[in-house]
Each structure stands twice: as structure tokens, then as C-alpha cells.
Structure 1
Amino acid sequence: MPQPKGRTLPLSGPRRFILDMMHFARQVPSVPVGRAMRLGPLAEARRSHPIRPSWPVLFLKAYGLVCDADPGLRRALLTVPRLRLYEHPYSIAALAMEREHEGEPCICVGLFRAPERQSISELQEALDEYRSWPLERVGFFRQMLRISGYPAPIRRFLWWSTLACSGPKRAKRLGTFGLSSYGALGAESYHPISPLTTTLTYGPIDASGLVTVKLIYDHRVLDGAQVARRLADLEEALLGPVLDELLGLPAGAGTEANRPADRGAA
């Protein structure tokens, strides 16, 4: 009997996006730092909350608060025309999520401006829209698909110029920090790579609220002791302001949330 033959498949737009991102992420000397957190009170408050917000939303809000207090987490290394650090005035979170494009599972990224200034409900609403809207209706996704259709040299030049030349454009287009987690799938990533200065990830959260949280950082911009302290601050933010908001206690000043369609515009 003739042996079955394999087949050659073209790369989809989302797959080319991941290839380009990984190309530049490999150039970042990143180091992971982990901390075991006991988030039992937060897990209980989340379960009883009317909208039952997702864990990524709670981590986005808490880490946004930590970044607001430590400007170093909002910095990025730029290389052109000279080596320098750029500090953005507020955080922009880049959340990785699984979507489907033309029948193929893919990873897409949603941007959240100043998550520390938005309510948990606003962040959850934006996340729900990112997860449900057609990709072509969301600004960042639409831009991703458009750029991914360019020839490789043009795509790589656009990525390079965004990461190396302009701090404001880098933050606006790619975010100041990333969040990626397989915790809901019962797994965890040990050392995800990213072109951003910091990337937050966490594993499965058990019934008691025990979870391992990791912060992967660009060692050219930050040092390990600083990152370890910020993980402790993250736990305090989760069990402090974020928990208070879930319980309906007085919250800080909010801000008007931008629609996802406008978040990733170039």
C-alpha cells in the first residue's frame, strides 16, 4: 500500500505574528522570579461576586497598581539612536488570549490602558469584548492581521523600529507589560519570553487560593531584588485594594475605559 504523504500548510496571519514576536523576544535577556501566594480571601470574594471576574482581570488591576507605584516597571530599553531608558507615564497591559481565526486556534493580544485606573467591572467588560468580538472589529487584532500580511523584511523592520526607536509608540502598540497564563487549563509556564520589560504569569489556583506567580523581567532594565519586592507588593495589592473592590468597600478614583476597538490603534 502506498504510504500516506504529509502536506505543506501556509502560515496564517496570527502564526506570522507569533513568529515575529518570538524573533525579538529571544533577544531579551529575561529572568523569571516566582513567589507562592495565598489568595484565599480573594478567591472566596471572587466566587461570590455578581460578575465573577476572571483571574486575569484581577491580576491586571493589581499589577497595574504595583507599576503605578514603581516607575521602573514602566521603563523599556531603547537602542536607536543611542542606548537609553524610556519611562511611560502609565501602564498598558498586553494580555495574551486564545481566539480562533479562519477555523484555526490562535493567540491574540488585547491591550488595556492604565488598568489600575479602571474598575474591575470595566476591565471585565473589555476582556469579554476582546474574547467575543470578530477579530476585524478590534483595533489591535486588525492591525496585527494587516501587518502580518506584509513580506517578512517589512514586518521585521516595523517590529524593530517600534521596539528600538520610540518609547511612546512602543508602549502604545505593544504595551508596557504582558500577562500570559495557562492556569485555567491546569498548567503553568516556567519561563515565557516576551519583548516587553516584564511579563506576569501564574499557574493553577487551588481551592484554598494557593498559586505560584512569576514575574519575568528584562535584566537590562531591572534587577532581581527589585522584582522580588514587587511580587510581594503584588500580593498585597491583590489582598488589599483589589479585594476591597470585590467586597464593595470604598475604591480609588476611576477613569473612563476606552473601547477595545480603539486600544491598539497605531
Structure 2
Amino acid sequence: MPQPKGRSLPLSGPRRFILDMMHFARQVPSVPVGRAMRLGPLAEARAGHPIRPSWSVLFLKAFGMVCEAHPELKRALLTVPVPRLYEHPYSIAALAMEREHEGEPCVVVGLFRAPERQSIAELQKALDEYRSLPLDRVGFFRQMLRISGYPAPVRRFLWWSTLHVSGPKRAKRLGTFGLSSYGALGAESYHPISPLTTTLTYGPIDAEGRVTVKLIYDHRVLDGAQVARRLKDLEAALLGPVLEELRRSSGAVPDIREEAA
């Protein structure tokens, strides 16, 4: 009997986007640092909140606060015309999410400007729009599809110039930090790579709020001890101002005994 033959498939626009991003991500000497966190009070407040915000929204806001307090997290290495560090005045979060394009599952990126200055409800609304609007109605998605249609040398030049020449353009087009997680699927990414200076990721969060959170960083820009301290600050932000906002916006009254502890 004749053996079945394989088939060749053309690369879609979203797949070319991932190929280009990985081409530059693997040039970054990134290192992961992890911290085991106990977020029980936050998990409880989230479960009882009227809009039950995404965990990604809570992490975006908390890490934005940490970046605001520690400007070195908003830096990136530029190389043209000379090697230097650029520090953006505010954070822009780049959240990876799964969508569908022409019947094919794909990864797209939603940008959230200064998440620390937005309410949880505002961030959740933006996330819902990123998840539901047609790709051609979202500016960043539309730009991604357009650029992915260019010939490879043109695409690679645009990526290279965005990453290495202008700090403001780099931040505006790609963000200052990334967030990617499979926690909701019961899985964990051990070392995601990205062309950005920092990428936040977390695994499954159990009923008691226990989770391992990792921050992958560009060792040319940051050092491990800095990153370890910032993970501690992240936990404090999640269990401090982010938790307080959740309770306040849901009408819950904080437990004074718990706060004193």
C-alpha cells in the first residue's frame, strides 16, 4: 500500500511574528530567578470580587508598582550608535495571550501603558477587549499582521532597529517588561525567553494561593540580587496595595487581625 505523504504548510503572519521575536530573544543572555509566594488573602479577595479579575491583571499592576519604585527595571540595553542603557519614564507591560487567526491558534501581545496608574477594573476591561475584539480592530495586532507580511530581511531590520536604536520607540512598540503564564492551564514555564529586559511568569496557583513566580532578566542590564529583592517587593505589592484595592472595590472590610499579623 502507498505510504501517506506529509504536507508543506505556509507560515502564517502570527507564526512569522513568533519566529522573528525568537530570533532576537535568543540573543539575550537571560537568567531566571524564582520565589515561592503565599497569596492566600489575595486569592480569597479575588474569588469574592464582582468581576473576578484575571491573575495576569493583578500581577501586571503589582509589578508596575515595583518598577515605579525601582527605575532600573524600566531600563533596556541599546547598541546604536554606542552601547548605553535607556530608562523609560513609565512601565509598559507586554502580555502574551492566545487568540485565533484564520482558524489557527496564535500568540499575540497586548500592551498596557503604566499599569500601576490604572485601576484593576480598567486593566481588566482592556484585557477583555484584547481577548475579544477582532485582530484587525486592535492597533498593535493590526501592526503585527502587517509587518509579518513583509519579506524576512525587511522584518528583521525593523525588529533590529526597534530593539537597538531608539529607547522610546522600543518601549512604545514592544513594552518595558513582559508577562507570560500557563498557570491557568495547570502548567509552568521554566525559562521563557524574550527580547525584553524582564519577563514575569508564574505557574498554577493552588486554592491556598501558593505559587512559584519567576522573573527572567537580561543579565547585561540587571543582576541576580537585584531581581531577587524585586520579587520580594512584588509579593509585598500583591499582598499590600493590590489586595487593598480588591477589597475596597468589592466592598469587603479588611480583617484587622490579619492586617496586624
Shorter-normalised TM-score: what interval?
Answer: over 0.9
SS of the residue corresponding to residue 57 of structure 1 reads helix
Code of the aligned partner of 1:93: A
Following superposition, the deviation at residue 202 of structure 1 comes to 0.1
SS of the residue corresponding to residue 123 of structure 2 reads helix
Aligned to 2:42: 42
| Structure 1, unaligned runs of 5 or more | 250-266
Following superposition, the deviation at residue 118 of structure 1 comes to 0.1
SS of the residue corresponding to residue 142 of structure 2 reads helix
| Structure 2, unaligned runs of 5 or more | 250-261
SS of the residue corresponding to residue 248 of structure 2 reads coil
Aligned to 1:4: 4
2-structure distance, mates of 1:4, 1:141: 37
Aligned to 1:54: 54
Please list the CA deviations of residues 134-180 of structure 1 after superposition, one character each: whole Å capped at 9, or x if unmatched.
00000000000000000000000000000000000000000000000
SS of the residue corresponding to residue 248 of structure 1 reads helix
2-structure distance, mates of 1:181, 1:135: 21
2-structure distance, mates of 1:28, 1:241: 33
Aligned to 1:247: 247
SS of the residue corresponding to residue 32 of structure 1 reads strand
1-structure distance, mates of 2:68, 2:136: 32
2-structure distance, mates of 1:2, 1:122: 59
Code of the aligned partner of 1:7: R
Code of the aligned partner of 1:196: L
Aligned to 2:96: 96
Please list the CA deviations of residues 6-39 of structure 1 after superposition, one character each: whole Å capped at 9, or x if unmatched.
0000000000000000000000000000000000
Aligned to 1:123: 123
Please list the CA deviations of residues 188-210 of structure 1 after superposition, one character each: whole Å capped at 9, or x if unmatched.
00000000000000000000000
In the TM superposition, 1:182-261 aligns within 5 A as 182-248=182-248
Code of the aligned partner of 1:237: A
Q: Which runs of 4+ in 1 moved over 2 A?
A: none
Alignment length, in residue pairs? 249
Query: Over aligned residue pairs, what C-alpha RMSD do you find?
Result: 0.5
